[in-house]
Amino acid sequence: PLQTFRGLLRELRHASGRPYRDTPAYQHIVATFRAHRVTSQKLCRAQQELHFQAATYLCLLRSVREHTALHREYHGKGERSPEEVAGLVGFRLPQQPGGKG
């Protein structure tokens, strides 16, 4: 659960333009994790549910960030030459004899 908590805070830091500790999302995550911590006086079945939901939300945040980065890199550049397309996927076009191409 601690690793998931830290991952959520890391994603919040990436997502927000301002200091992330001032955001309502940060305050909600911290309050929820504190409310569901296990003590010696109770068996907290809800903690397993909280950890599952937090891990799912962390996966969503990471996926959205990675999707945005891929979208920014590959979308909207217009028509590309065959050489550019080959370079994107890691290939080189064959050279024609006589120095052409």
Predicted TM-score of the model (pTM): 0.57
Q: CA nearest 61: which of 21, 23, 4, 19?
A: 4
pLDDT in tens, 72-81: 887 776 787 8
Domain ranges within the chain, ordered by starting residue = 1-73
Q: What is the mean pLDDT of the segment spanning 43-62?
A: 80
Spatial distance between the Cα atoms of 24 and 96, rounded to a whole number of angstroms: 61
Retrieve residue 18's tokens: 């301002």
The helix (H) or strand (E) run that includes residue 17 is none
Helix ranges, the chain (H): 2-15, 24-35, 46-74, 82-89
pLDDT of residue 99: 60
